[in-house]
Amino acid sequence: MVDTAALTELYKDLHAHPELSFHETRTAGIVADRLRALGFETATGVGGTGVVGRLRNGDGPTVLLRADMDALPVAEETGLSYASAARGTDPAGADVPVAHACGHDMHVTCLLGALEELAGDRADWRGTILAVFQPAEELGGGAQAMVDDGLLDRFGTPDVVLGQHVAPFPAGMLAVRPGPAFAATDALRIRMFGKGGHGSRPETTIDPVVMAASTVLRLQTVVSRTVAATDTVVLTVGSLRAGTKDNIIPDEAVLEVNIRTYDRGVRTRVLDAVTRIVDAEAAAAGTTRTPEITPIDSFPVVVNDPAAVERTAAVFRARFGEDRVVDPGLVTGSEDVGIFATASGAPCCYWLFGGIDPEAYLAAAAAGTIERDIPSNHSAQFAPVIEPTLTVGIEALVVAAREWLGRPDPQPTPTIGGIS
């Protein structure tokens, strides 16, 4: 059995020392040291700051277990004794607060705990464990960076890709869905160009603020009027920046748009609609310069292999109970873990595990206040309750890995006097 007290202290340490995407150097160092101590062949700097550990234990399948390591530019407001006060530099060069507001510190701790248990009981399985500690999930580039850095060529092709994400539902629960499970994301930066001037003489200008405002409102019709009601799409304008002073009409406005889809055809339809609306609003405003639409980042759909989900969920139900393993429905959050499966041709099974105090969740559910009282991932108030989140997260990885790893050859029954 693993030392959960030591792992709890590790989790608190990681939580208090978060690092932004592709800057996870301290976390990577801790992970690498622990992997070496467990007897794993260990490589660092894979895909930038990624860490890979390989433990070979005879002939058998190769099971890839993945955890992401990066944090977010969020100022933590949990009030925990181990809350983050860290700061970092974002991709634009700005100084920002940093916090593990998505739970990746819990992912790292759970995987290290699972590897400790598996490494300590090698008589019970055969094959190869490929432990992947991935950078930059929040940017959608970490998995691809590791693949591009030769992950599969250097360490082997897995027979299955397994992983998990902590989520805002009761700790002790697991949720897994076959088929398209986590949404694709397209993030866009849109620059709309006008003609600046004095606020008292708008007739001499082309106002990009009004142009952008009209665009924001029109974009809200994409889901309601361009996409079928049976398709799931989310379109959010998360940022609009323009101007510096109340009496100055600026030269341009910048919007940042986030789109979530599950179907490739629907994705194309939505992106085409966004381009059409942006161009049309600019033309209606009389601008002489075509807007610029630039991709910021992109996540593919995570598609869980149905057979892999059925096989893995069966051992979850056997271990945790039928009532503690559910189908979460379509998850509009995005993940890049599927890139490992796509690149290797291996089936993927990626599940959620609860991180909220069960009593607090049930009380909020009874009051109808889950959305108000239960912090979600990326919130400044989000932090999983340590137990039973940690124990269940470790055990889920262990039972899933053992299901996919090989079994030891049965020993022959000894014979006595020629009678077996």
Annotated catalytic residue, options 105, 137, 207, 336: 137
Greatest distance between any 2 Cα atoms in the chain = 109
Q: Does 378 carry a binding-site annotation? A: no
Name the residue among 219, 229, 231 with its Cα closest to residue 267. 231
Q: Is 107 annotated as ligand-binding?
A: no
Nearest C-alpha neighbor of 8 from the set 394, 396, 400: 394
Residue 76 is classified by DSSP as -
For 346-410, strand residue ranges (E) read 348-356
Where would I find the beta strands (DSSP E) of 155-195?
160-170, 174-175, 179-182, 184-193
Which two tokens mark 342?
């796509």
Query: Looking at the DSSP assignment, which residues form a beta bridge with residue 257?
Result: 188, 237
Please state whether the peptide bond connecting residue 97 to the residue before it is cis, i.e. omega within 30 degrees of 0.
Answer: no
According to DSSP, the residues that pair with 190 across neighbouring strands are 255, 293
Query: In this structure, what DSSP letter does residue 195 have?
Result: B
Peptide bond into 388 cis (omega under 30): yes
Q: Does 70 participate in catalysis according to the annotation?
A: yes
Q: Are 61 and 405 in contact (CB under 8 A)?
A: yes
Known catalytic residue at 41: no
- The three-point CA angle 191-258-297 to 5° equals 80
C-alpha closest to that of 387 among 172, 230, 165, 228: 172
* Spatial contact of 206 and 194, defined as CB atoms under 8 Å apart: yes
Distance CA 157, CA 223 (A): 39
Q: How many helices (H) and strands (E) does the chain have?
A: 13, 18
Cα separation of 113 and 120, whole Å?
Answer: 11
- State the Cα–Cα distance between residues 387 and 376, nearest whole angstrom: 18
165 is in an annotated binding site: yes
Q: Which of 19, 24, 68, 70 is catalytic?
A: 70
387 is in an annotated binding site: no
- List, as residue ranges, the binding site for Mn(2+): 102, 104, 138, 165
Question: Which residues participate in catalysis according to the annotation?
Answer: 70, 137
- List, as residue ranges, the binding site: 102, 104, 138, 165
